Every structure is written in C-alpha cells, then in structure tokens.
C-alpha cells in the first residue's frame, strides 16, 4: 500500500477484494464501491474493526434452563408476614413461595404505595404492619 493510496484502494485491500475477483466472487461488494465520497469510504473503513476480522466465539454448550428455586421454610411469624403480603394485594398473590429478594422488594414497593399514610388519610397501622412484615421476610436473606 503506497502512501498516496486512495480511500478506495485502502478499502479494497482491507476487504481483500481486487480487480476481477471483486466482480466474480462478491457481487454484493460492488455496492460498497459505488460511492466514491470520501466520507462514505471513511465510514466503511471505520466499521472494519476487530469484530470484522475476529468473529465472536459461540458457546460450545447452549445455556440450559435455570433450576427453579426451592420454597422458603417460614417460621410462624414469617408465615403470617407472607400471608399479609399476599392478602393485602389487589393483584392477588404477588409473592411465590420461592420469592427472591428482588421480588420481595418489588412487592413491598407496590403495597407501600397503596398503604402509605399520605395516601390513606393518616392510617399508620397498615403501613407499619407492612414494614414489619417486610423486615421479617427480609431476614430470610440475611441468614
């Protein structure tokens, strides 16, 4: 490649397409060279990065389905807290027996929006029950 090579020549060398081979082996490549606009050719050169020359390796073994988590073993207080979460929801059961910390937090936020004293004209007791239930169930993840 000479120091005075044009964008087109550099692009042809990078794509390893030259002369008659370009027409015979890669008819789709012809459309790349139709525009001689330097900005277009510079864009094409910029897109010939590492991913073009080194394709991403594929997994040898496809990822299988994740195992279902085991249900939690509740103490009597935690069972009451779990029942409080599922009975307080308009949506029905929002916590499955094998809930995660993320599921618990999501359920708490949904119920806190409904039971907050600002939304229920000063009804503090249901919100405090929700908070206590959340703390009891949160203890499952700290043990």
Q: Are residues 95 and 48 part of one domain?
A: no
C-alpha–C-alpha distance, residues 118 and 112, integer Å: 10
Phi-psi region of 19 (alpha: psi -120 to 50; beta: other; left: phi over 0): left
Model pTM score? 0.52
At residue 131, does pLDDT exceed 70? Answer: yes
Per-residue pLDDT at 77:
93
Per-residue pLDDT at 134:
94
Tell me which of 117 and 41 has the higher pLDDT.
117
At residue 16, does pLDDT exceed 60? Answer: yes
- Residue 87: give its domain's CATH number: 1.10.287
- Please, what is the Cα angle at 61 between 55 and 49, to 5 degrees? 10
How many domains are contained in the chain? Answer: 2
Tell me which of 73 and 92 has the higher pLDDT.
73
Q: Does residue 128 lie in a domain region?
A: yes
Owning domain of residue 47: 7-53
């Amino acid at each position: 490649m000479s120091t005075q090579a044009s964008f087109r020549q550099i692009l042809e060398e990078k794509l390893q397409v030259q002369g008659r081979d370009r027409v015979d082996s890669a008819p789709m490549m012809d459309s790349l060279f139709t525009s001689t606009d330097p900005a277009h050719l510079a864009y094409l050169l910029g897109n010939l990065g590492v991913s073009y020359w080194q394709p991403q390796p594929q997994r040898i073994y496809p990822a299988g389905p994740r195992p279902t988590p085991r249900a939690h073993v509740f103490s009597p207080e935690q069972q009451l807290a779990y029942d409080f979460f599922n009975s307080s929801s308009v949506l029905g059961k929002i916590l499955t027996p094998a809930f995660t910390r993320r599921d618990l937090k999501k359920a708490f936020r949904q119920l806190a929006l409904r039971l907050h004293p600002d939304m229920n004209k000063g009804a503090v007791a249901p919100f405090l029950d929700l908070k206590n239930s959340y703390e009891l169930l949160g203890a499952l993840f700290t043990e």
